[in-house]
Structure 1
Amino acid sequence: MVPPMPTDPVAKPRTKPAEERRDELMRSAERLFLEKGLEQTTIEEITAGAGVAKGTFYLQFSSKADILQALRARFVQGVLDGIVAAVEGRTGQDWRGKLAAWSTACASGYLDAAGLHHLAFVAEPPATREGLSRNILIDHLSELLTAGASGDAWSVDDPGFTAVFLFNALHGVINQPVDETPAGRAELLRKIEAHFLRTLGLASGID
C-alpha cells in the first residue's frame, strides 16, 4: 500500500494576497495610462495587463479615476519615503544638511517620476488644488522647519506658511521644461537647494 503523500507545510497559496493583486493592477494601470492616456485605456486592458479577471478590479477600485487617485497617493508617498531617508542620513544637529537633503530628495523624487507626475497632476489634475497647500510633503517640511528653529538653526515665524511657500516654489520650477542631462539636472538641484537655504537665512554655498 502506497502511503499518502505528506502535506507540504510551505506550499504556496493558490491565490495571491489582495495587496499583491492591488499592486499588480496599479502597475498595469500606470503603464497603460502613460502609454495611452486615461481616457483611451479600458479596465479590460488594465486587468489583462495584471493577469487578473475583470471582476478583480472592482474588488480594489471603483473606476479608472479611483485607481488614478491611488497612483497619486503612491507617488507622493514614494517621494516622502525618499525625503525621509535623505534627511535621516544627516547627523542629528546638521539642520542645514537636513534642509538641503530635503530639497534635493523632493526635487529628485518628482524628476525621477516626471511622466507619472504630469499624468496624475497636470494632464489629469485632482478635483481641487488643496494638495498644493496641504499634503504629507508640506507637513514633513513644516516639522523639519519647526525642529530646526527649536535647535536655533534658523528663525521662522510661521513654519507652516514657509513650508507651503518653499514646496510651491520647488513644484513650480520642476513643472517647467528642464534640462534632463546630468549636468542640467545637477545645476537645477543646486539652484533649488540654494533658494531653500537662503529663505532660512543660511549660506547657500554659491553666494
Structure 2
Amino acid sequence: MPADPVSKPRTKPPEERRDELMTAAERLFLQKGVELTTIEEITTGAGVAKGTFYLHFSSKADVLQALRARFVQGVLDGIVAAVEGRRQEDWRGRLAAWSMACATGYLDAAGLHHLAFVTAPPATREGLSRNILIDHLSELLAAGAGENAWSVGDPGFTAVFLFNALHGVVNQPGIGETPSDRAELLRAIEAHFLRSLGLPSGID
C-alpha cells in the first residue's frame, strides 16, 4: 500500500488569526500601555509573522478600535444569554437580568474598558447615547411596555438614561473590588433599574 501522504498544517481561518492578534494586543496594552507596545511584540505574542498584522489591521489604533467593539459585543452576548434565560412573560426578571449582566460585563473587564474608552477615548462620545447595548435595552423596554409590564413613554430616552446611570456607577474607581462589595453593588443596580420602571425591587 502506498504510504499516506504527509499532511500539511492547516492554515487558521482569518477570523481566528485576527482574534489571536487582538488577544495578544490586549494583553500587552494592559501590561505596557498602547504607546509602549510595538507591533512586533503583538505579532510575536500571537505567533505570526509581522506582515500578518497588516492583513488585518492598519495600526495599533485600529486594533484598539476592534478591542472596543469586541468588548461591547462581549457584554451584549452576556446580556442576551441572561435575559433569554428568563421566561418570556417574566418581564421583571428579564429587566433585572439585563441590569445584572450589563454591570457584571463591565466589572469583569474593567481594565480593558478603562484602557479602550478612558485612557484612549474614541473620537466622539456617541457611544454614550447610542450603542448596541442601549439599542437592546430600548427594545426590551418597548417590548415590556407593549405587554403592559411597565409604562414607558419613550423607550429610547429611558434606555439612554438607565445605561448611563449604570455606566457611571460601575466605572467609579475602586468600586466592587471585593466579593461582598460587588454583590451589594449589583443588588443596588438591579433595585434602581426596577424602581425606575415602577417595579418592586425587593429591597426596602
TM range (shorter): over 0.9
Are 2:202 and 1:202 aligned? no
**Displaced runs of 4 or more, over 3 A:** 11-14
- Structure 1 residue aligned with 2:186: 189
- Structure 2 residue aligned with 1:142: 138
Deviations 1:78-110 (A, max 9, x none): 000000000001001100000000000000000
Q: How far apart are the structure 2 equivalents of 1:149 and 1:112?
A: 31
Distance change >3 Å, CA 12–CA 110, structure 1 → 2: farther
1:179 corresponds, among 176, 180, 186, to 176
Structure 1, unaligned runs of 5 or more: none
SS at match of 1:203: coil
Q: How far apart are the structure 1 equivalents of 2:10 and 2:189?
A: 50
- Structure 2 residue aligned with 1:112: 108
- Structure 2 residue aligned with 1:152: 148
Q: How far apart are the structure 2 equivalents of 1:179 and 1:193?
A: 14
Are 2:148 and 1:170 aligned? no
2:4 corresponds, among 6, 30, 40, to 6
- Give the letter aligned to residue 175 of structure 1: N
- Structure 2 residue aligned with 1:50: 46
Are 2:92 and 1:96 aligned? yes
Q: How far apart are the structure 2 equivalents of 1:153 and 1:111?
A: 29
Q: How far apart are the structure 2 equivalents of 1:16 and 1:205?
A: 50
Q: How far apart are the structure 1 equivalents of 2:31 and 2:20?
A: 17
Let me know the Cα RMSD of the aligned residues: 1.2
Distance change >3 Å, CA 12–CA 23, structure 1 → 2: farther
Are 2:22 and 1:29 aligned? no
1:126 corresponds, among 110, 122, 127, to 122
- Structure 2 residue aligned with 1:40: 36
Q: How far apart are the structure 2 equivalents of 1:135 and 1:56?
A: 30
Q: How far apart are the structure 2 equivalents of 1:65 and 1:143?
A: 32
Q: How far apart are the structure 1 equivalents of 2:136 and 2:5?
A: 50
How far is 1:12 from its partner? Answer: 6.0
Q: How far apart are the structure 1 equivalents of 2:134 and 2:12?
A: 36
Q: How far apart are the structure 2 equivalents of 1:146 and 1:192?
A: 20
How far is 1:19 from its partner? Answer: 1.2
- Structure 1 residue aligned with 2:60: 64
Range moving further from structure 2, 137-146 or 175-184: 175-184
Q: How far apart are the structure 1 equivalents of 2:97 and 2:200?
A: 15
How far is 1:152 from its partner? Answer: 0.6
Q: How far apart are the structure 2 equivalents of 1:33 and 1:187?
A: 31
